[in-house]
Amino acid sequence: MTPPDLPAELRAALDARLQGLSRSDAAERAALISRNYRDGGNSGAIASEEDALAYALARMPATYAAVTASLNALCELRPDFAPKSLLDVGAGPATASWAAAETFASLRSFALLDANSALRALALDLGRDSTRLKQITYHRGEARAALADAAPADLVVASYMIGEVGDAERSALAEQLWAKARDTLLIVEPGTPAGYRRVIALRAQLIASGAHVAVPCPHDGACPLQAPDWCHFTQRLPRLRAHMQVKGAELPFEDEKFSYVALTRTPVARHPARVLAQPIVSKVEVTAKLCSAEGLRIAKVPHRDKTTYARARRWRWGDATMD
């Protein structure tokens, strides 16, 4: 399992760029950027080197943790998956590239694609001395056009990106992302109802184009959740000092909510079910919300069923189960 916190090499690269950066200036920039996102804006508000660094300080730890959690779920199901090439679309500061590099020692080449020049400069700067991000190539520009020049990769990731693409363009982009995925396509979005709806629409579209779900769903059928419910997961991550300063936060951790799907070209043997919320554990029973090929069910595992109860006590939100 890859831990959710930024790897030491990336932390050191970020720290080196923080020298001389005013924390209050970075906090103001980060607040403006996140207000812009909340108001439905996009990464266009990240316009300078300082903005890019403020964004990375405020958000990279959380998006890194969400991508890592998604890749961990994928690896649990497919321990033999050993991609050699990665295409990171909407790479920003190269968050998903770092997460994939930590997860897959097999990766030999990293192709990054983004339209934002401030984030591009930061991604290349952070990766320059990395022992993990090797053979970096960069496709600069709007995704639909830039993808035409990108080579297919074993693993394609679009992390916190498709929400920035207009509704009209999203399905054409999804087909392009899928066309570039030699083996697996991973989409990660914020764990909001809107983020989930984007993931689920793309999932249905690409299943119709021949994709198979690897994780998190234990089936290729329609999502059984009914609004206002939505499928999302949560990952706790530590907040480092600069991270806390930039966010004006007091707690030394945060919980990032995310929705995701990993799609593969060939079907994989899936776990029977996935835990969709934190189970309630009592001395009498474990109550858990599970998604399975048969649909949604609330499992109640009584204490008297000793072996299954002992297993169910350890279930966490997001886990795959064998029951």
Write b or e for each residue in 284-305: b if 16 or more Cβ atoms lie within 10 A of its Cβ, otherwise e.
ebbebbbbbeeebeebebeeee
**Pick 167 or 250: Cβ nearer ligand SAM:** 167
Cβ pair 93, 55 in contact under 8 A: yes
- CA–CA distance, 43 with 65 (Å, rounded to integer): 20
Under the criterion CB under 6 A, does residue 285 sit at the interface with ligand SAM?
A: no
**Pick 50 or 164: Cβ nearer ligand SAM:** 164
Under the criterion CB under 6 A, does residue 92 sit at the interface with ligand SAM?
A: yes
Member of 33, 71, 74, 161 binding ligand SAM (CB under 6 A)? 161
**Pick 159 or 264: Cβ nearer ligand SAM:** 159
Give the range of 91-99, 208-216, 253-261, 298-306 binding ligand SAM by CB under 6 A: 91-99
**Pick 165 or 206: Cβ nearer ligand SAM:** 165
Under the criterion CB under 6 A, does residue 159 sit at the interface with ligand SAM?
A: yes
Under the criterion CB under 6 A, does residue 99 sit at the interface with ligand SAM?
A: no
Within 13 Å, how many C-alpha atoms sit on residue 279's CB side? 26
Under rule CB under 6 A, how many of the chain's residues touch ligand SAM? Answer: 20
Under the criterion CB under 6 A, does residue 220 sit at the interface with ligand SAM?
A: no
- Token pair belonging to 176: 């392009």
Q: Minimum Å distance from CB 119 to ligand SAM?
A: 4
- CA–CA distance, 110 with 4 (Å, rounded to integer): 21
- Token pair belonging to 122: 């930061």
Under the criterion CB under 6 A, does residue 290 sit at the interface with ligand SAM?
A: no
**Pick 96 or 177: Cβ nearer ligand SAM:** 96
**Pick 159 or 235: Cβ nearer ligand SAM:** 159
Cis ω for the linkage preceding 216 (within 30 of 0)? yes
Which segments of 167-323 are extended strands (E)? 181-190, 212-215, 233-238, 253-264, 273-275, 280-281, 285-292, 295-302, 320-321
- CA–CA distance, 173 with 142 (Å, rounded to integer): 11
Binding positions for ligand SAM, rule: CB under 6 A: 42-43, 60, 63, 90-92, 95-96, 114-116, 119, 142-143, 159-161, 164-165
